[in-house]
Structure 1
Amino acid sequence: MHLVLASASPARLATLRSAGIDPTVIVSGVDESRLDGLPPAELALQLAELKCAAVAARDDVPEGALVLGCDSVLELDGEALGKPGSAEVAVRRWQAMRGRAGVLRTGHSLRDTATGRVAAATASTTVHFADVSDAEIAAYVATGEPLDVAGAFTVDGLGGAFVTHIEGDHHNVVGVSLPLLRDLVAELGHEWTELWSPTTA
């Protein structure tokens, strides 16, 4: 059983590899701005489903593979915060987030290309942010790290020191919930351990 990751995220790839899975990466090319206005959990799930479907339809997907699409947003005050894209937006995000908690929503969509069946769900993890100073925000944003990640932070990089604690699955904050993915694999009739690379097994 082979996994295809429909995502360019290096953090998702690293998380899967650390769990014994060596997926093929095929980037979906889906425009993430096309569904603006949806509630955060629904937005994350629908974008994951679009990414999964776009890649599963390609001719270069290995036969009989499982295709995984994921998308993450941070919910703060009912609003979905994706990638800030600019330093100015990232600074404003952090000024709003500091000393508070948000909910990281990651949509997961898994398609079995052999059967066409799809299993999908959203994982939610509450993230508590430190009361960082303006100087810390400026220095963090200047590194460039928060510009291209959902919610303008990472928990597995430079931003880890600014996350005081989380409630829920740590891996979900990185970008893919391993326990949820295991459930989706089982829902499609497969064993999680079938995805382990030969060197793991």
Structure 2
Amino acid sequence: MGKLILASASPRRRELLALTGLPFEVRPGNGEEIIHTDDPAEAVKELSFQKASAACGLASDGDLVIGADTVVALDGTIMGKPKDEEEAFSMLERLQGREHGVYTGVTVIKKGTEECVTFSERTAVHVLPMTSEEIWDYIKTGEPMDKAGAYGIQGRFAVYVERIEGDYQNVVGLPVARLYGVLKKFREEIV
């Protein structure tokens, strides 16, 4: 009987995985992240697989390792985490008043076997128009600096989200319902 391991240091992913009620450990892998595609759905699948694979080195046979990665894409172009406040402003200025996609890739690997499931989930996010002053005020909160696309839907940015189409938890960083469906297939393996 193996353990459930989350290969992520993200407190948001930890909170979301806890919603399943399943016991798990957090053991982030320290692998290099390399993508070979410009397609956001494929990129997050690659990254989630890399994270899960790296964390498998810290796991025992029979453990289930979950890797996840989230990106924001506007007009098919992936937006990462901002390097500084100016880049955060540029990202938010491009997102304001428009729809964009948030993609999360998830990989579940059963250590010591060939069993692996990888998928991606997309949620459309519609952002209200924002003034330059509103963008700078939001940047001053510090929230944008460690988040893809320079915002967190679960924080102060919520006032600028007109609506979403899809899974809210996916935008936060982990499509819990879809992941739980995958984990149910491995349920007897989790202690």
* 3-state DSSP of counterpart to 2:153: coil
Give the match for residue 187 of structure 2: 191
Q: Write the deviation string for residues 131-186 of structure 1: whole angstroms up to 9, x where unpaired.
A: 11111110111121111111111111122212111100111011000122123224
Q: Could you tell me which residue of structure 1 aligns to residue 57 of structure 2? A: 57
- The change in CA–CA distance for 1:49 and 1:171 in structure 2 (over 3 A counts) is same
Q: 1:69, 1:108 within 8 Å by CA — same for their partners in 2?
A: yes
1:45 corresponds to 2:45: yes
Which residue number in structure 2 is paired with residue 7 of structure 1?
A: 8
Count of matched residue pairs: 190
In the alignment, the residues of structure 2 paired with residue 21 and residue 172 of structure 1 have an alpha-carbon distance, to the nearest angstrom, of: 19
| Residues 126 and 92 of structure 1: CA distance in aligned 2, closer, same or farther (over 3 Å) | same
Deviation beyond 3 Å, 4+ runs, structure 1: none
Contact 1:120 1:184 in 2 (8 A): no
- Of 64, 73, 76 in structure 2, the residue corresponding to residue 75 of structure 1 is 73
* Matches of 2:36 and 2:111, distance apart in 1: 29
Distance in 1 between residues matched to 2:187 and 2:38, nearest whole Å: 33
How far, CA to CA, are the matches of 1:31 and 1:148 in structure 2? Answer: 18
2:7 pairs with 1:16 = no
Q: Is contact 1:44–1:105 with CA below 8 Å preserved after alignment?
A: yes
For structure 2, the residue ranges without an aligned partner over 5 or more in a row are none
Give ranges in structure 1 of 5+ residues lacking alignment: none
1:175 pairs with 173, 176, 184, which one?
173
Percent identity over paired residues: 33
- The correspondence for 2:128, drawn from 130, 137, 140, is 130
Deviation at residue 88 of structure 1 after TM alignment: 0.9
Q: Relative to structure 2, which stretch is displaced further, 73-82 or 108-117?
A: 108-117
Query: 2:51 corresponds to which letter in structure 1?
Result: K
Q: Distance in 2 between matches of 1:83 and 1:3?
A: 28
Match of residue 30 from structure 2 = 29
C-alpha distance in 2, partners of 1:108/1:40? 13
Corresponding residue for residue 96 of structure 2: 98
Q: Report the RMSD for the aligned CA atoms in angstroms.
A: 2.0
Match of 2:64 in 1: 66
TM-score by length of 1: 0.86
Q: TM-score, normalised by structure 2?
A: 0.91
Q: 1:38, CA displacement in angstroms?
A: 2.5
Amino acid at match of 1:45: K
Shift of 1:62: 4.6
User: In the alignment, is residue 112 of structure 1 matched against residue 105 of structure 2?
Assistant: no
